[in-house]
Amino acid sequence: MLTPRLQITLDTMKKLLRRQAMGNLSKMLEKLHPADLAHIFPYFNETEQRAIFNMIKDPAEAAKVLSEIEWVVGAQLLRSIDTERVIQILQEMPSDDAAEIISNLPEELAEKILQGMKKEDLEDVEGLLSYPEETAGRIMNPNYFALHENTTVKEAIKAVQRAADAEMVFYIYVVDDRNHLVGVVSLRQLLLVPPQKRLRDIMITEVFSVKTYEDQEEVAKVVEKYNILAVPVVDEDNKLVGVITVDDVIDILRDEATEDFLKMAGTREEEFAYVDDIMKVSRLRFPWLITNLLGGLVTGYLLWLFKITLRDVLALVTFIPVITAMGGNAGLQSSSIMIRGFATGRIEYARLTSILFKEVRVGVVMGLVCGTLVGVVGTLWHGNPAIGVVVCVAMTIAMTVACTMGALVPSFFRKVHIDPAIASGPFVTTANDITGILIYMGTATILLKYIIY
C-alpha cells in the first residue's frame, strides 16, 4: 500500500505521462529517491515503465533505481534498451547486484553484455556468476575491506578513511599473509585503543563467517542470530573472498518469504515481470491448478466407488464438503507452521518426533471438538444418531491424519533437499481431500448396517 505522499507522486506522474509532459516528468524524477521510484514502479504498465526508465539519463542514477527494483522486473526492462547503455548502467552497480540482473537476462544478451564490460567489472561479475543461485557466493560483494594483522591502529584508521570503493565498512576484517580470515575489529574498538597497537593484539578471533556455497537463508540466520551488520564470506580454505551486509540480508529475508508465499499459492515470482502478459501469467499458475484438478478427479472417482453407500444413505452427501474442507484447512495450518519453522530455524530434525506427536494430539482435539459439533447437527438434521456418530468419528480421524500429513510432507521434502514450501497449498489440500473422502466413506461403509433407516 502506498503512503499518501507516494500516491500523490504516482497520480502526478501518470497525468504527466498521459499529457506527454516529459520535461516536467524529468524534473520529478531528478527529485525522487530511487527507493521511492522503485516502490511505485509496479503501478505502471510495461510501456510506462520503459518510458520512465529511459528518461533517467545518468547511468549511475539508473543503476540506483535498478538496484531497488525486483530483479526479474529489472531484467525485463533491460531487454528493450540498447546494449551499450545496459553495459554502462550495470558497470555503475555493485557487482552482486549486476550479477543478479545478468542471471535473469536471456543467455545471448547476457553473453553480449559480459563481453562489453570492463575487465575489472567482468572479473567480479563472472566470479559471482560461477556460484549457484541463492548461495553466499552469488550474493556477496567481492569489494570487501580487510587489513593485515600486523597493521597498526593508526594505519588502520587512515586506511578506513581512504576506503571509498569498498562495501560499507562496518567492521575491519583481519587477514594473515595468505589472506586467511583470522579476526575482526569493530570501528568503535579501533577508536578506543592506543594508535601504536597492532590489529592482531586487539582483534576478536572468534569470527562469525559463512562459506561461499552456503545457502542464503543460512546467511540470514547467522546475521539474525548474532545481531551483526555484516558477515564475511570465506572459501573452503578460510580465505576471505567477500562480504554480505545487512541490507542484502533484508533483501534475502523478503525474497525468501515472498518465494515461500508464492509457492504455497502455486505460482512464482516471475509473475511480477509479466503482469500485463495474461498468457504467461496463466502458464505460471497452471501446474498447481492441474495438480488440483487431477486431485479433484481422483476424489470424484472415489465417491463413485462408494456409490452404493451413498445410494443407501443419501444423507451422507451433506457432510462431504465439511469433511474435505476441515481436513484441508487443518493440514494447511500444520504445513504452514512446519515450513515457517524450518525457514527460521525454530524446527530441527532432532525435535521432529515430539513435533509430530504434538500435531497428532492437536488433530485429535480439533477433530473431536469439530466432529462432535457436526455430529450433533447431523443427528438433529437427519433424525438419525448413527449418522452423527459416523460424521464425528470420520472427522476426528480425518483431521488427525491431515495434521500429521501437514507435518510429515514438508519434513520429507526438506529431507530430500526440495523446498518444503511446494508441499503446502494445493498439494496438501488435495492430498487431504482424497484421504478425507476415503476415511469418511470407509467409516460410513463399515457402519452402514447401523445407519440404514
**What's the whole-number average pLDDT of the chain?**
85
User: In whole angstroms, what is the distance from residue 274 CA to residue 72 CA?
Assistant: 9
Domain-ending residue, one of 221, 239, 263: 263
CATH of the domain at 402: 1.10.357.20
Q: Which tens digits make up the pLDDT trace of 154-191?
A: 999 999 888 766 666 788 999 999 999 999 998 888 88
Same domain membership, residue 31 and residue 69: yes
Q: Is residue 269 part of a domain?
A: no
pLDDT interval class at 369 (50, 70, 90): very high
The C-alpha cell 559463512 sits at 210
User: In whole angstroms, what is the distance from residue 150 CA to residue 12 CA?
Assistant: 58
Q: Is residue 18 part of a domain?
A: yes
Same domain membership, residue 389 and residue 295: yes
User: In whole angstroms, what is the distance from residue 262 CA to residue 271 CA?
Assistant: 10
Q: Say which residue, 275 or 277, is predicted with more confidence.
A: 277
8 A C-beta contact, residue 182 and residue 174: yes
Same domain membership, residue 351 and residue 240: no
Cβ-in-10-Å burial (0-12, 13-18, 19+) of 376 comes to middle
Same domain membership, residue 86 and residue 9: yes
Same domain membership, residue 282 and residue 258: no
Q: What percent of the chain has pLDDT over 90?
A: 26
Same domain membership, residue 250 and residue 318: no
Same domain membership, residue 120 and residue 79: yes
Domain-ending residue, one of 217, 241, 263: 263
Domain count, the chain: 3
pLDDT for 196 beyond 70 = yes
What is the separation of C-alpha 12 from the centre of its chain, rounded to a whole number of angstroms?
Answer: 33
User: In whole angstroms, what is the distance from residue 48 CA to residue 73 CA?
Assistant: 13
Q: Is residue 219 part of a domain?
A: yes
Cβ-in-10-Å burial (0-12, 13-18, 19+) of 18 comes to exposed
User: In whole angstroms, what is the distance from residue 220 CA to residue 244 CA?
Assistant: 10
Q: Is residue 139 part of a domain?
A: no
Q: Which residues of 170-186 are buried (b: 16+ CB within 10 A; e: fewer)?
A: bbbbbbeeebebbbbbb
Q: Which tens digits make up the pLDDT trace of 209-228?
A: 999 999 888 898 888 888 88
Backbone angles phi, psi at 232, to 5 degrees: -75, 150
Q: Is residue 136 part of a domain?
A: no
Same domain membership, residue 41 and residue 113: yes
User: In whole angstroms, what is the distance from residue 149 CA to residue 175 CA?
Assistant: 6
Q: Which tens digits make up the pLDDT trace of 69-106?
A: 887 788 888 888 888 999 999 999 888 888 988 988 88
Predicted structure pTM score = 0.68
Q: Say which residue, 256 or 133, is predicted with more confidence.
A: 133
Q: Is residue 271 part of a domain?
A: no
Domain-ending residue, one of 130, 160, 176: 130
Residue type, 171: Y
Q: Which tens digits make up the pLDDT trace of 6-44?
A: 999 999 999 999 999 988 998 899 889 988 998 898 888
Same domain membership, residue 308 and residue 170: no
Q: Which three cell numbers, joined as nine digits, stand for 407?
A: 507435518
> The domain containing residue 330 runs over which residues?
277-451
